Structure 1
Amino acid sequence: MQLLRFTFENHRSFRDEATLDLTRPTLKTLRPSKGTTWADHIHHVDGIYGANASGKTNVLDALHYMLGAIGSSATSWLEKPQFPRAPFALIPGQMTAPATFELEFIVSGKRYAYRFATDADGVTEESLHVVSTRWKEVFVRNADGRVKGLKRIPHVARRELALSRAAQFNHETVTPIWEALMRRFDLYHVGDDEVNARLGRIARQLQERSLRLDDLVTLAQIADTGITNIEVEEHAIPPQLARLITHMLTPTADDVQDEQPDQSSEEERDLSNFIARNLFFRHGTNSGRLRHSDESTGTMAWLALGTAVVSALRNGRVLVVDELGSSLHPQLSHLIIDWFEDPSVNTTGAQLVFTSHDMTLLDAGRGDREKREQVWFVEKDSDGVSELFNLADFPLQKGSNIVKQYLEGRFGGVPYTVPSLIHKLLNPRTGEEE
């Protein structure tokens, strides 16, 4: 799967329409020209830069919201008291205005465009188109939930997407599209919670043998962490503890009294079979083991993100990373980008979209046109409205020092600091006298 464009409007700090375009200007027709492939006409890496609170993470959040709606609007979202949405909140009227989301992407060599719009009550419009000789409608639905183009699904609820409902019925036409959108995107969020969740997944995959231990050790060695071996240790919950936990969760005292001491409930058996997995790391040949909590933050961040990178490169996924470089050495961040841009490594057409403060990551250097197309900025105006724009929009001379100009604020996307206010913080009386 390859991502071509993502367009959204009225989501969080983005009041107006914004488009993240991963296509190159060489793509002038609906399909690649003769002798070329999609890989020749798309970016495999795009970076989004901006000051803190400018809204760059909200670009990724809009994508996360869209994928969440596709995956859950016909299931868990129906149980929520209100239809989930996050419109621009600083203008009262904007809270009730429609929000729109659109993806253009490639699945199995075909180009698709999927779009939907929402308001406070649910979905107001939805459509899926595919390129044949021109754009062709696959299905369309309106605000009343009436669907045209999907056999056996003439109507859906106001709060669910027709694509999501069709996937629940395993609809032969659109289920492969739904599965590609669900399985070919991987969103990696910044923070310790994400790292810990990924490490837990790694331990589970190692135990299930869906991830090879040698691969994880190799990943650790790439970063020169000093790790020579990794082990997974299991601890089954003792039956007595499982029984105690079950009794504590029993809703009434009568239920506990009715239960015979020698009987094991289904809940007890489930708890007894619960496995707590732990990763242990060895350094050198004769050293003892260290728990992951004893390893450096950078090492754990590398393993967590590195496994996501390898999975994306192996399976042709779109990896979306918030704050690439957080807790990582800059050389490792550069290495990840190099892998995605190297066709001998990235043989599946995988893509990386990231946010960062490090302008050097994409090696925009001194004005290479193709590199400029891969650099995006987000800036927020005085009304709190974020705008997404591309470095290639600026008239730059060949040889321009882009990094220097960015740091000087030539392109926006940098904070406008007031360092002199430190005196007010250190000397409160000064502010009172003024």
Structure 2
Amino acid sequence: MLLRFRVANYASLRDEQELSLVALDDHDDLAVRRPIDDDLSVLPAAAVYGGNASGKSNLLEAMHFMQEAVCHSHLGWGPEAAIPRNSFRFDDDIRRKPSEFCVDIAVDGVHYEYGFAVDDEVVRSEWLYCFVKRQRRVRRVLFERSGPEWTSIRFGGHLKGRKRAIAEFVRPNSLYLSVAAANNHPQLTKIYGWFSNQMIYIDAGVPVPHLPYTLHLAATPDRSAVLDLLNYADLGISDIRQEPLVLDNELRDRFMAVLKVVDPDRTPDLGFAVEAATRVDFIHRVRGKEYALPLENESSGTRSWFALLGPILEALAHGMVLVVDELNAFLHPLLVSELVNLFQDPTYNRQGAQLVFNTHDSFLLSPLSKARLRRDQVWLTDRDEDGATTLRPLTDYRVRDGLDSVFRGYLLGRYRGIPIFDEGLLEELILRHTHMHGDPPRKGSETEAGELT
């Protein structure tokens, strides 16, 4: 499970920001878990709110970058390749400094802290600690790296196996954790596995890349779960039909070329190309007759919901962390509320799955919403005059009543995290535009319109 995520100098996240899923209150009605031998409780969901360009997407993209670096720095990044980080752009000194990423996670009942710092060319530092509870919490060093060279790696006594021999394969631009997993180090492969198998990142506004999850499930005995959630969303769909399309060599090569352009640092996955080349028809039953409608002819909301179903079901079945950018994209607020409730409700979430998402959907904060978000599950992003993002928990603010007060307070801007509109600027714009196009100004506005010119 994910306990905390910290990041600094990534996109608009200039200074270190922390997102925590550690519960601050008791929530007996939520799917809260205690994944380690401790009193620490972990939340099933966290929502990030903020105005456009406030940095809420950057926070989740930073989590995705960390995942990609762990999974691909050794085998996917070339020996001389630059590190594809996205540092803070509005300060030249900060831009040249390393970007830092760190997670606290629970794996097999043990609390680990893993992190690294990278610049545009090399890994500057990397560390892995575990925490053991005796009379007090004790931090054990598994390894620490203080520079690009493999000789800078120091190992703790609790890390067993071929640790030094594996270190010789580390490049300046690759993470030791990635190299260790590629060489089957038993302890470190478990930590690597959390990033590779226990976390799914999704941009809900671009559903196509995530279709293979759902298409795969819809072709297995688990297809009934996909159909049930489609029907639950009241989309009028009674069945799904898939028909693989035959790709000739020329079309396959073109498809692979497009994938290579999208991600030049990674070898295109032919399996993904084949799965994506599938005709999908949704079957609608209307007045006793069945009609097939191709996926591409369905509404944006239907396509988005369908693409999300596979990752949702995978996360719930295997206790994974599902990270979704713009969860409300194309979806009705009531449907988003139901989706969040799948993770919140212990009846459905029995394996400790977690949902981390950002959204503009203020209805989720309403007492009418089934999402039941608590104050320690809500985070707010703001952008300051330097273009830097600040992330704050809703618990930093006093809320007199329950969710109703949170809902009203958010819409009124009491906690920030919303766009601030300059009504004076809007009035100037309309007056200027009206005057430029020669329309007669409103009565009493001639002087004002003249001053604007």
* TM-score between both structures, scaled by the size of structure 1: 0.84
Indicate yes or no: 2:63 matched with 1:58: no
Q: What does residue range 234-313 of structure 1 map to in structure 2 within 5 Å?
A: 234-237=244-247, 242=249, 276-284=277-285, 285-313=288-316
Q: Is the 8 A contact 2:23 2:43 kept in 1?
A: yes
Structure 2 match to 1:101: 101
- Judging changes above 3 Å, is the alpha-carbon distance between structure 1 residues 233 and 39 closer, same or farther for their aligned structure 2 residues? farther
Match of 1:351 among 354, 374, 390: 354
Indicate yes or no: 2:412 matched with 1:408: yes
Q: Is the 8 A contact 1:364 1:372 kept in 2?
A: no
Structure 2 match to 1:263: none
Q: CA deviation at 1:117?
A: 1.0
- Judging changes above 3 Å, is the alpha-carbon distance between structure 1 residues 246 and 334 closer, same or farther for their aligned structure 2 residues? closer
Structure 2 match to 1:153: 166
Q: Is the 8 A contact 1:185 1:318 kept in 2?
A: yes
Q: CA deviation at 1:201?
A: 4.3
Q: Which moved more, 1:393-402 or 1:113-122?
A: 393-402
Indicate yes or no: 2:363 matched with 1:360: yes
- Judging changes above 3 Å, is the alpha-carbon distance between structure 1 residues 71 and 425 closer, same or farther for their aligned structure 2 residues? farther
SS at match of 2:330: coil
Match of 2:375 among 363, 372, 375: 372
Q: Is the 8 A contact 1:365 1:402 kept in 2?
A: no
SS at match of 1:382: coil
Structure 2 letter corresponding to 1:76: G
Partners of 2:34 and 2:361 in 1: CA distance:
38
Q: CA deviation at 1:171?
A: 0.9
- Judging changes above 3 Å, is the alpha-carbon distance between structure 1 residues 16 and 233 closer, same or farther for their aligned structure 2 residues? same
Structure 1 match to 2:13: 14
Q: CA deviation at 1:103?
A: 0.3
Deviations 1:266-314 (A, max 9, x none): xxxx99x967311111111422211111222211111111222111111
- Between the two proteins, the alignment pairs up a number of residues equal to 398
Q: Is the 8 A contact 1:324 1:333 kept in 2?
A: yes
Structure 1 match to 2:266: none
Structure 1 match to 2:339: 336
Q: Which moved more, 1:146-155 or 1:348-357?
A: 146-155
Give the share of equivalent positions with the same residue, in percent.
31
Structure 2 letter corresponding to 1:195: P
Match of 1:169 among 168, 183, 191: 183
- Judging changes above 3 Å, is the alpha-carbon distance between structure 1 residues 410 and 78 closer, same or farther for their aligned structure 2 residues? same
Q: Which moved more, 1:398-407 or 1:41-50?
A: 398-407
Deviations 1:351-387 (A, max 9, x none): 1111011223144789xx9811111000001110110
Structure 2 letter corresponding to 1:140: E
CA RMSD of aligned residues (A): 3.1
Structure 1 match to 2:158: none
Partners of 2:56 and 2:428 in 1: CA distance:
26
Any unmatched runs of 5+ in structure 1? 250-269
Q: Which moved more, 1:194-203 or 1:339-348?
A: 194-203
Q: Is the 8 A contact 1:77 1:84 kept in 2?
A: no
Partners of 2:241 and 2:119 in 1: CA distance:
50
Q: Is the 8 A contact 1:44 1:349 kept in 2?
A: yes
- Judging changes above 3 Å, is the alpha-carbon distance between structure 1 residues 293 and 77 closer, same or farther for their aligned structure 2 residues? same
Q: Is the 8 A contact 1:424 1:431 kept in 2?
A: no
Structure 2 match to 1:314: 317
Partners of 1:327 and 1:247 in 2: CA distance:
32
Q: Is the 8 A contact 2:79 2:173 kept in 1?
A: no
* TM-score between both structures, scaled by the size of structure 2: 0.80
Q: CA deviation at 1:203?
A: 2.9
Q: What does residue range 92-131 of structure 1 map to in structure 2 within 5 Å?
A: 92-131=92-131
Structure 1 match to 2:385: 382
Q: CA deviation at 1:401?
A: 1.3
- Judging changes above 3 Å, is the alpha-carbon distance between structure 1 residues 39 and 371 closer, same or farther for their aligned structure 2 residues? farther
Partners of 1:383 and 1:410 in 2: CA distance:
22
Structure 2 letter corresponding to 1:401: S
Match of 1:137 among 124, 136, 141: 141
- Judging changes above 3 Å, is the alpha-carbon distance between structure 1 residues 309 and 247 closer, same or farther for their aligned structure 2 residues? closer
Q: Which moved more, 1:115-124 or 1:309-318?
A: 115-124
SS at match of 2:289: coil
